Structures are given as structure tokens and as C-alpha cells.
Amino acid sequence: MISPKVPVCQTLKEKIKSAMEWSSWRVSKRFRDVVLDRPKVIELEDAEDQGKKAMELTKGRIAEWISNPDLLRRLVLRNIFLLLGSQVDQVLSHLYEEPEEGLPYENEANPTNGT
């Protein structure tokens, strides 16, 4: 006669084996994902480093401008003139649109009527 405990033990062993295989599969999948995504992590870290370097350079430039009033004044004036220049161009283009047939006073300045 077979002891009733034998099938239970075998079932438990199979469940434990299955759980261990599943666990090792999950661990290996995580490891595989980490290893495959490593270049992405490196690229991200490089991008973060480049961003930090750019911020430091920008901070240095701003500090240089503030410490040098003449340079700061020239920078501000240049930007003001650039902004005003573009606005003036827009206003002038709307005020003085060129007619399709040339300027209206061209014919009056050069009369060609039998003189």
C-alpha cells in the first residue's frame, strides 16, 4: 500500500521547483532588462551632465555680464534695438505698402506729354 503522504510530498516538491524556476526567470528577466537598457541609462546620465555643464556656463556668462556693467549695457541695448527694429519694420511694411504698378509719383515727376 502506498502512503498517502507520498503524492503530497511530490506535489510540494513540484510546486517548490516551479516557484524557484519562476523566481529565477523573473530575476533573470530583470537582469536582462537592466543590461539591455544600460546604454539608455548612460545616454541619460551623459545628457544630464551636459545639461549641468550648460547651466554652469550660462551662470558664468550671466555673472560676467553683471560684473561688467558696460558689457551688460551693450547686451541690453542690442536686444532692445533688435526688438524695436523688427517692430519698426512691421509697422513700416503696413504703412507704406508698395503699389503693384510702381510708385504713384513716378509719372508726375517725369512728364512725357509733348514738351
- 49-94 pLDDT tens trace: 888 888 887 777 777 766 777 777 777 777 777 777 777 677 666 6
Residue at 48 is within a domain: yes
Residue at 2 is within a domain: no
Residue at 70 is within a domain: yes
Domain that holds residue 30: 17-95
Mean pLDDT score, 99-110: 56
Residue at 4 is within a domain: no
Q: What sections of 1-115 are H helices per DSSP?
A: 5-36, 38-67, 69-95, 106-109
Give the range among 36-50, 72-86, 92-106 with minimum mean pLDDT. Answer: 92-106
The residues near 72 (Cβ < 8 Å, ≥ 6 apart) are 65, 66
**Count of domains forming the chain:** 1
- Would you tell me the crossing angle of helices 5-36 and 38-67 to the nearest 10 degrees? 40
pTM attached to this predicted model: 0.26
